[in-house]
Amino acid sequence: MNTGGVLGASEANSTLGALLIGTLAGCVLYGVSTVQVYLYYKRFPDDHWILRYFVLFIWLMEGAHVGAIANTLYIVCITDYVHPERLLGRPPPSTIGLFLITVTIAVGVQLFFSYRIWILSQSRIIPCLMTLISVVRFALGTSLFAIGINIPTLDEFGTKWRWLGISMWGLSAVEDLTITASLVFLLARHRKHVHRATTAFLDKIIMWSIELAETGMLTASFSLTTLILYRTMPNNEIWIGFSILEARMFANSFYASLNSRTVLRDMQGSSHNLNLSGFGNKTNQSVLFKPFSPATRSGC
């Protein structure tokens, strides 16, 4: 790391370059998110109001995330243009705010998928475990945010507080993979207890879940990549570029899981028999994905 107050070319690539690339890619993915949200509200006007507001909440958090990134980029490129040494000093508050926004989006999406597992399963053990991991991860993320407000340099995240980041991104990867495996397993188990006429339909759901599993693996891979870069390259900020995209991956996997119901609903030949969201709609519930009933579910 340059300690003489002059930002070298290699340091510009690993700090400003990583931030710029992450910002541009993040803005493109935010456009994808916006299209997915538009399609969701157009195709599923009868979804439960809780789910509809939750979709809006995630999208607004993404907007705040874009705003925080843009503010950070403006500060380092314009405000501090004649003071490149500040890029190596105390990070802007908007940069630290990214930790809180990202962990809020990620944990919210993971809790949604945990709720779906709760609906499909005969036990709440796995959902309770996933919820516990989500709570711990949120606590770690808010801790990084609180520490970052007063941190003297961004390098401290890779040295003194490295264990917090490693724990947070490690838990995220574990939870993503567990949720994906659980959903595929539960759908496969449901397949054994339905009539032959619905077997092909469930096969398609399982195949779709495996495809969504690839999305889950994508979010897990981003968490692992961020963790590895954060762990092995403590003296640069390349990991920030991957961390910026993490929120987009979680949000888009959430929107995709909701919008994929259109294809599956058409396969089933009815608009009143499919509820992959877990919340149902105003007039009906899915036979295969009916909501949790305390009388038929066991405790943690």
Indicate the Cα dihedral angle 23, 27, 28, 30, nearest 10°.
130
47: helix, strand or coil: strand
Report whether 191 contacts 203 (CB < 8 A).
Answer: yes
Q: What is the pLDDT of residue 66?
A: 94
At position 194, the amino acid (one-letter code) is: V
46: number of CA atoms within 13 Å, CB side? 10
Helix, strand, coil percentages, rounded to 5, for the chain: 75, 0, 25
Which is higher by pLDDT, 40 or 91?
40
Which is higher by pLDDT, 294 or 92?
92
Alpha-carbon distance values, 101 to 60, 65, 150, 275 (Å): 10, 6, 18, 29
For CA atoms 149, 152, 154, 156, the dihedral sign is: negative
Report whether 266 contacts 274 (CB < 8 A).
Answer: no
194 phi/psi in degrees, rounded to 5: -120, 165
Reported as a single tens digit per residue, the pLDDT across 89-118 is: 677 888 888 889 999 999 999 999 888 888
CA distance 191 to 221: 29
Average pLDDT over residues 282-296: 39
Q: What is the pTM of this model?
A: 0.80
Average pLDDT over residues 5-26: 70
CA distance 82 to 79: 8
The one-character DSSP state at 287 is: S
pLDDT at 267 over 60: no
Average pLDDT over residues 183-187: 75
Which is higher by pLDDT, 146 or 209?
146
Q: Is 204 exposed, middle or buried (0-12, 13-18, 19+ CB in 10 A)?
A: middle
158: helix, strand or coil: helix
**Lowest pLDDT segment from 34-38, 141-145, 177-181, 261-265:** 261-265
CA distance 51 to 47: 7
Q: Is 269 exposed, middle or buried (0-12, 13-18, 19+ CB in 10 A)?
A: exposed
- Domains contained in the chain, CATH given: 12-268 (1.20.1070)
Q: What is the pLDDT of residue 238?
A: 77
CA distance 86 to 77: 11
For CA atoms 183, 184, 189, 193, the dihedral sign is: positive
**Lowest pLDDT segment from 43-52, 200-209, 264-273:** 264-273
Rg of the chain in Å (alpha carbons): 21
Q: What is the pLDDT of residue 289?
A: 37
